[in-house]
Chains A and B, each alone.
Chain A
Amino acid sequence: MSTSETIRDLLDPRELPLRHRLGVVALGILALAPLWSRLLYAGGQDLLLLRTLTAALFLGMFAMSWDAVSGYTGQISFGHAVFFGVGGYSSALLNLGYGIPPGFAIVGGTVFAGLAGLVIGVPSLRLEGPYLSLVTLVAPIILLRVFVFRSDVFGGELGLPSPDPLVPTSGFEQATIVFFYVAFFTFLVILGVLLAVTRSDTGSVFTAIREDEDAVSAAGLNPAKFKIFAFLLSATTGGLAGAVFVHTIGKPTPSELLVTTVSIEVIIAAVLGGMGTIVGAAVGGIFLSLFRSYLSDVTATIPIVGIPIGHLDLLLFAVGTLLLLFYLPGGMVRWAVVAGKRRLADRKPAATDGGQTPIRQVAATWRRSIARLRGADDE
């Protein structure tokens, strides 16, 4: 992309590269989901599909928020659930405890999540690589322990009752369609914000931090400022998604917002989709969520052991993830884009990232910091 492009050029569909056009078409198809799901299925099945899609959109949002900080700046967070949890819980508590209308409660939840982002982001300046991941991994566990300890306020393991819905609806059908559009709109907002930031100069600095922090400092930019901003951005978008989630299809419970599995699912989604691309994270999140719900719906039984496949969904999901991560470390979207370009013999710009996938770059940084921690003299 040259720098002389104006906004209008950027938004003109005729000027868009093929993959962007495909993305716009996909969003359009998604927007019309209530229509085509009715054509495909009848008698309530279409509504279930919509519910599944809504849940998938939320996982997509969560994955995008992870990607903004971990995929771009390489500060790998293993506990992003803490932001979804803070966003969702504070919004629910503001609504349930103080009677604040959902719309404002969501804003409040987002602000609280942003604060949590600062709390996690500041230590990230001191800690590197695996140590930061360890802190982020335990952050939601600590939060959950506090919630269990003060079960009278936070509802403990069972979580809080559902707060008021964001939009008052009557009946399951109307609620499903309205919630789908609420989720879709939030998805678009988060996608837009994150794309705008990561495709800007700030995004380039994020990527540069991932590749070589010292080089960023040497160029006269303060990596600390950008890292904090990345955490703040990621936490607010994640918190917003969490807050909207509890006021639509979700509930403020640990199992939906806070457990380690949520954090891990988000990482897997982003890595599978393609780390450091935002779009990949979104696609990965949607794909993963649909894949899991598809697995849990399979009623067939495995022949010899006689266990229904639906009961194995988490296991199969884990095994599937293991295989995909093992064989496709760059992610699906990146793979598709590269494969598509090769097929179409598109112009090939120089690889600004040295031709390495983000995960490889972060791995290199980690190896250096681990070597330092261990006091090894290898590097």
Chain B
Amino acid sequence: MALPLGGVVVNALMISALYALVAIGFTLIFGVGGVLNLAHGASITIGAFAAYYVSSVFGLGIWAGALAALVVPALFSAAMYLGMIQYVEDNPITVMILTLVTFIAVEEVVKIVAGTQAVAIQSLLTGQVAIGNGLEANRLLVFALSWVLIGLLFAVVNYTRTGKAILATSMSSKGAALVGIESDRMYLYTWILAGAFAGIAGLFLASLQTANWSMGRTPLVLSFSIVVLGGIGSIRGSVVGAYIIGFLETLTTSYVDSSLTGLASLVVLVLILLVKPEGLFGREFTE
């Protein structure tokens, strides 16, 4: 397969930004709340389908759809935390099982409501941009928006009072409690943020490819590798990890074999866990 390298690299650059969006949410919940949210993939699917229903079925336009892709998964995530996780969050195994089962349930609901056929979502922008051999404006916008969101999150976490409180909780919930931070509220915030990020990533993913009921699985599995590679709980680590994994994925599927989806990154995951379990930027929060 002789694909032009330029195209492959551009592809990898863009898809990696999406993976970063997904992985950041996953890592936030683990870093702050100490639980693995396996229903994170469900937020991706919910985001994509919320956008699809608002934009195509109700005909409100794609920008209203984008708003829905932010809000609906955020609400879903918040509801999951408030209705279920907060009662069992001291038991990580139950959390893992419950979130995984929730994921299965959401997939089933989507399958029943929207069917098993993939649906297309209209592009955010149409036309081409004259960079290199010409690039779809939509893809460029998705890429830019992803980075804007990542930058915003960085700014919020590092420079606002609430963001700093979230960081503090991730370092030590007891210490945070001593200075008057309500850790439950911080957990809720991270769940909401994670849901919104995964939801918008779902919309982007659907607008680059298509949306279907099982679309959340691959990004979720890739997030494991990304988050572990970057160091669990580290935002910077998940952005770097997303780019490493994104490139690895795109290169192997483009040049080696397209049926290898996910294999390379999973092997990386196992290797990292065995050799350097704290990842590249592990324990960043405490330093």
Q: Which residue numbers of A lie inside 8 Å of B, CB to CB?
A: 76, 78, 123, 126-127, 129-131, 133-135, 137-138, 141-142, 145-146, 148-149, 151, 260-261, 264, 267-268, 271, 307, 311-312, 314-315, 318-319, 321-322, 325-326, 329, 359-360, 362-363, 366-367, 370-371, 373-378
Contacts and interface: CB of A to CB of B under 8 A. Distances in A.
Q: How large is the interface on B (under 10, 10 to 19, 20 to 34, 35 or more residues)?
A: 35 or more
Contact of B228 (A134, A321, A367, A370): A134
Given A134-B273, A141-B262, A378-B172, A264 B104 contact: yes
A334 B243 CA distance: 48
Contact of A318 (B31, B84, B108, B174): B108
Contacts of A318: 101-102, 104-105, 108
Given A264-B104, A374-B31, A131 B92 contact: no
15 contacts: A123-B274, A131-B228, A135-B273, A138-B224, A138-B266, A141-B221, A307-B112, A315-B105, A318-B104, A363-B91, A370-B92, A374-B30, A375-B285, A377-B175, A377-B286
A134 B269 contact: yes
Interface stretch (B126-134, B148-156, B185-193, B253-261): B253-261
Nearest to B32: A374
Contacts of B108: 312, 314-315, 318
B79 interface: no
Contacts of B273: 123, 127, 131, 134-135
B170 interface: yes
Given A127-B277, A138-B224, A325 B259 contact: no
Interface in B269-287: 269-270, 273-274, 277-278, 282-283, 285-286
Nearest to B277: A131
B34 A76 contact: no
Contact of B105 (A130, A322, A370): A322
Contacts of A126: 274, 277
Contacts, number: 147
A370 B96 CA distance: 13
Contacts of B84: 322, 326
B125 interface: no
Contact of B266 (A123, A145, A149): A145
A142 B93 CA distance: 22
Contacts of B277: 126-127, 131, 373
A375 B283 contact: yes
B187 to A, nearest CB: 14
Most buried by B among A130, A261, A326: A130
Main DSSP-derived SS at the A contact region? helix
Contacts of B274: 123, 126-127
Contacts of B259: 145, 148-149, 151
A149 B221 CA distance: 18
B88 A326 contact: yes
A307 B102 CA distance: 20
A46 B88 CA distance: 42
Interface in B57-80: none
A378 B285 CA distance: 14
Given A131-B273, A315-B112, A142 B267 contact: yes
B160 to A, nearest CB: 22
A162 B30 CA distance: 43
Most buried by A among B31, B100, B175: B100
B93 A366 contact: yes
B170 A311 contact: no
A361 B270 CA distance: 26
B102 to A, nearest CB: 7
Nearest to A70: B93
A149 B267 contact: no
Contacts of B94: 325, 329, 359, 363
A158 to B, nearest CB: 13
A376 B173 contact: yes
B232 interface: yes
Contacts of A151: 259
A139 to B, nearest CB: 8
Contacts of A329: 91, 94
A54 to B, nearest CB: 25
Given A78-B100, A149-B260, 6 more contacts: A134-B273, A135-B269, A322-B105, A363-B90, A377-B174, A377-B175
A135 B277 CA distance: 11
A271 B97 contact: yes
Nearest to A275: B93
Nearest to B108: A315
A290 to B, nearest CB: 19
B46 to A, nearest CB: 15
Given A135-B270, A312-B108, A315-B109, A145 B261 contact: yes
Contacts of A261: 104
B120 interface: no
Interface in B150-208: 170-175
Interface in B235-273: 257, 259-263, 266-267, 269-270, 273
B98 interface: yes
B270 A142 contact: yes
B263 A322 contact: no
Given A134-B273, A322-B102, A374 B97 contact: no
